[in-house]
Every structure is written in C-alpha cells, then in structure tokens.
Amino acid sequence: MNREQAKKRAAELVEKMTIEEMASQLRFDAPAIERLGIPEYNWWNEGLHGLARAGTATVFPQAIGLGATFDTELLAQIGEAVSVEARAKYNASLQEGDRDIYKGLTIWSPNVNLFRDPRWGRGHETYGEDPVLISRMGVSFIQGLQGDGEYLRTAACAKHFAVHSGPEDMRHFFDAKTDQKTLWETYLPAFEACVKEGEVESVMGAYNRTNGEPCCAHRYLMDEVLRGKWGFPGHFVSDCWAIRDFHEQHKVTERPEESVTLALEKGCDVNCGCTYQKILSAYQEGILPLEHIKRSAVRLFTTRFLLGMFDQTEYDSIPYEKVECREHLELASRAARESVVLLKNNGILPLQKDKLKTIGVIGPNADSRAALIGNYHGTSSRYITVLEGIQDYVGDEVRVLYSRGSHLYLDREEALAKEDDRLSEARTVAKCSDLVVLCLGLDESLEGEEGDDGNGYASGDKKDLKLPASQIRLLETVIQTGKPFVLCMLSGSAMDMNDADRYASAILQVWYPGARGGKEIADILFGKVSPSGKLPITIYRDLEGMPAFTDYSMEGRTYRYLQKPPLYPFGYGLTYGDTCVTRLWWDTPCYEDLVRKGAKVLVQAANRGGVETQDVLQLYVHVTGTEQEVPNPKLAAFCRVNLKPGEEKTFELWIPTEAFSTVNEKGERCFDGTGAYIYAGFGQPDSRTRELTGRECKCLKV
C-alpha cells in the first residue's frame, strides 16, 4: 500500500469520528473506538538493540557497539530481526487479546543523536560521534525495521530531534543553543539522511529547547526543516511527558491547554505522556482549531494503515517461534564479534590455552549480566558473562580463578565489612594466576537516561571520565602484583584509560556486548576470531580544554574538531592480522567533477599478517581553499573487508558529493573549496593513529 492510498483511507476514517474520538487517538495509549471497528493501540515500543521491555527477545550489543562494527549490512539485518520479533510478539499478543504497552509495531528507535560529549549518559544509545557514520548506520537500521514489502513491517522512529545530547539532569528545562553552521554541520545530517534516504515513518522530538523553542513544538526545526525542506510525510511523536515540560519547566506556556495547542499547531501528532488529555478543553476554549486535531489524527491513521493494521498482510503469519530463534542469536553473535575494539596489544593476545595453567578473571563486570545489556533491553533466555565465556572456552584444560575484586561503585561489597573488602582476594587471585583478565567499566546503573533506576544523582551522566573510585583501587592493586593483565572495558562511553594504557598488556573495549557476548569476548581473547571493531568515538586523555557540558559548540569535541592528540582516536582498532592500504586511485579528472558527481575510489589493501581478519576500510576528505571546512579530515565513506593471510584485494568505494562541501555561517551547504585531499586507510590520517599503528594513510590530492 502506498502512502497516498493509506492517507486517503485514514482521512475517510477520521471524518467519521467525533471530536472526542479524534482527540483520544492522539494519545500514546489510544483507546478503542468500537463503533468504527478501531481496536485500542499503544504507540510506545522500543527496539534500540533488540525488542525491549516486553519479555523474551534477542538482545544484541548496545547501539554504540553496533556503531563500532562500521557494518551497514549487519545493521540492516539486525533491524529486520528486531521487526520480525516485534511482528511475532504482536501476532501472539493479539491472539491473547493483549494490546499493552511495548507490544505494538511502532518502534521508537534508532537514536541518531550525535555523541558530542563523553559525559553524556545516553551516548551509548547512539552510533557514535560522526555524522556520516550515524547516518549510514541509522538509515540501514531503519530500512531493516521497515522492510520493503507491500506494508511496513514495523514503523521506525528517528530520535531525538534535533539538538540533544545532555545534560540529562537539565533536559526538561535546558536550552541547547547552537549557530546555524554547527546545526547543519553536526546535529542535522543524520536526521536528514533518515528522512530522505531511510524514509523513516516517524520522528521523535527532544525534551530540551533549542535556541529558545521547545523541540516538540519548534517552528524552525519542525515546520521549516522537517516538513518543509525535507518534505517529511510521517508522524511526529513527543518524548515522554515532554509536552508537560512546556508549562512546568520551559515556561513557554502557562498551562496544559496552551501546551497542547502549541504542540499540535507545530505538528506534534502523538503525545507520549498525559497532556493531550487536555485537547478537548483547549478545543472547547476556542484556542485549538479542529483542523490541527484532524491533521494529526489523519497522520497517525495513515501509519496504522501502512502497517496493515486493518488488513491481512504478509506478516500476519510470522510465528512466535521467530523470537530469539537460532538465526537471530547467530546474528547477535556476529554483531558482538564485530563490535569489540582491540586498543592495545603487546603480543599477549591471542592467548594460547596450551601454555596456560591458571587464568585469573577479576572485576565487578566479569560476571555481570547488567554489563552485557546496556539500557533499553529485552530479556534473554540465557546470558553468558565474560567469566562464563572464558570458563566455557578453556573447559577443564585451564584453571579459572575468579574474584569480583570490588563493587561496581560502592566502597565495599558487604555492608558490615571494612572498605575494599574484596581487594585482598583479588590480589591473591592475581598472584596465583599466570595472567589476569580484568573486567572493569560501567552499566546502566551508572550511565543512562535521567531517571533510570539507580543511576547516579537520578541523571546518568558522568561527572568526568574516571572509573568509580572502588575500581580505580582495584586496577592499582592488579598493577602492583606485576602480573600481566588484559583489560576488558565494558562501558558505553570513553573512560580514562591512561593507567591501563601504561600498564596493561592488552586492552579490549567491549561496550555492552549483548546477552551472550561473553562467548565472543572469549573467542577473541583466545584467537578463534580476530578483533575487527573500530572506535565510533574518541577516547580522550582527559577533559582539559573541553568546553562545558552545557556548551553545544563543537570546539575541541569529537575527532573532527579535536585540537590535541587523544589516547585512542576515532576509527582506530587493531586486529590479529597486519592490514594496510597499498594503493589508492580513481578515474575522476578534476575537482569540478567531484563536486558535480561524487567519486568512485579504488583502494588496494593487503593483509601481510598470518591471521585471517576483517577490518574497516575508511576514506576521509579534507576540502582545501576554504575557511568553512572542519579543522580535521572527516569520514566520507567506509566498508568492512575480509582478508586472508597474504591476500591483497581491490575494493571500490563511493564518496558522495556532500563530502566535498562545507557549511557556511548561514547553515548553507556549499562547494566553495578549491581542492581536496582524500585519504584511505584502516584508521584516520592523524598523527596518533600513525603512532599507534605504524601505518600511513594513502593520499590523493585534487
């Protein structure tokens, strides 16, 4: 069914409704209208990295880990898996007469905000800090969710529109201020791609204001940009209880009726929250025109018709057995393997089982299920922690000693014990082991969304990059034993790893790797699989020189604007192979052709190591002859490649014309450069990547 057909049917249905019935359908928990054959429907469902909050589902790595795969094909397949499980659960729930929250077909994912500051607690819900990476991954995930059938398999939602990345504890009243250049250079590209290329069915507004206006009723963002310049035809949903913030927090209105009127006037179609219960009051006062209510109702029923809710569809026969099926579990396993980033290796990895007698596995995240799953997660029928993955891999051939070592953030494990009551055990385990696998980091209790159960100060943001004090003391204890150790960092954001960089034999950034991710971590530790993930964020040495968290300018933030070498750069990650780019060429004769048509680039790459590996080929562009270009070369294209030992292959990548553009102070994308440099490598063309890898990117000058 095409949109025009669905819209026509929606308009005809809405015309039969009373004003009370129309108003009721704009709530997220829309009631039934029995006389018209309309069942109740709850619009709120989540699928960030697997279907969430509705019982058993396949739990994939958290979104930041998916970003680290740089694998668009994988993201499309994961999106499809999430939507298939959503349909399976939807079909089963309908048979049981269950139309509750988290059981519908409107999936409020992906989060395509840009991870601009490492302190933001929700950054691990995103794909990283680069607009191109976020755009490509977001579009693929959306296409997987929505499918290409006669009907939408599920309806995706790009969130949170648009200038939104903390602070969490201020989001209900905060005004994120940005200039037009930064807006169009950094904050809008991913949303534009999701709307224009991904044809995303819905967009969710953010809690905060942007340049004075609330994001869920923003004249410029919603009217001029989203509906106007981009021609977005779908529906707009508020973040949860964000409309209430208009009068209670932002103070842009005085009472609920005014907030409802403002939101509907600007085109916020469905309210996650309860403020739209005041629609009738606003209408009866004469401040809310009927046409605004009807417009939103038509948009919402257009989506419901596109989903086939009133028809028989090809998805009605998807059985419940598709939930957490073998195919989806294997896909989650692949995602976990591709997401792990090897940051340091002095040669200790891969571990050789036949040369080890005892391994010490230490740390509060070693046997933690919470550290596997991030936030917005479903329930797995089985979990495999890092400890369990290692135990399963070595079996009875190697003794595995375990100590939690410390609480995740408190100063003791047992309430009646003295401070650091697990440190002596950790020291003993280390001393008795040939080597240590140390598992530190965070979980959703420390970084996440404001108000999430248990997170710090009801916020979820980090005050700095440091691990909790209890874990710092544990790290120092392991270092002092002198035993070689491999650090596995389970976190969703950049942490201070300066001491680990100095003293650890190897470091793996494993994010929140999914419910059974411990198996894949063990496979990588012992060399069954070569690590191949790349950092989708910068791991900074410290926060010195970085603007205040509340400052939405980009100076000094993310690799595009970084002014000092990081500890580990965006795009960086080692493998067990030895990959390099040996040649870079094209058939584009001049800069004018690049601007007009884009460029097909040919890259020859080789694996000179003795281990088959995957790696991520990356192209960066830096436009010359203009002051409008971002300070550092920017990601323009990428692809995941597989190379056998000694193998050399040629790969074809496409650089779009936008890569050769810049954004001026008015927010206009223009082609004002006189030339460009194009770089190809398995990382950035920056000094720190060269230092860490010993490799130079190949370069073309136009």
Catalytic residues: 239
SS3 track for 523-534: HHHCCCCCCCCC
Other residues' Cβ atoms within 10 Å of the Cβ of residue 474: 27
How far is the first Cα of the chain from the last one, in angstroms, to the nearest whole number? 47
Long-range Cβ pairs for the range 652-656 (8 Å, 24+): 652/600, 652/601, 652/602, 652/603, 653/600, 653/601, 653/603, 653/617, 653/619, 654/598, 654/599, 654/600, 654/601, 655/594, 655/598, 655/599, 655/600, 655/601, 655/619, 655/621, 656/598
Structure tokens of 161?
């529109």
Residue 355: DSSP 8-state: G
Range list of H helices, 488-616: 498-503, 517-525, 558-561, 591-597
Other residues' Cβ atoms within 10 Å of the Cβ of residue 627: 7
**How big is the CA angle at 41 (ends 37 and 45), to the nearest 5 degrees?**
155
How many Å apart are CA 408 and CA 447, to the nearest integer?
12
CA 566 to chain centre: 22
- Strand order across the 175-176 sheet: 175-176, 209-210, 213-214
User: Cα separations (Å) of 307 from 149, 195, 666?
Assistant: 10, 18, 39
> In the block, which residue shows the tokens 């942490």?
495
How many Å apart are CA 186 and CA 460, to the nearest integer?
23
| SS3 assignment, position 669 | strand
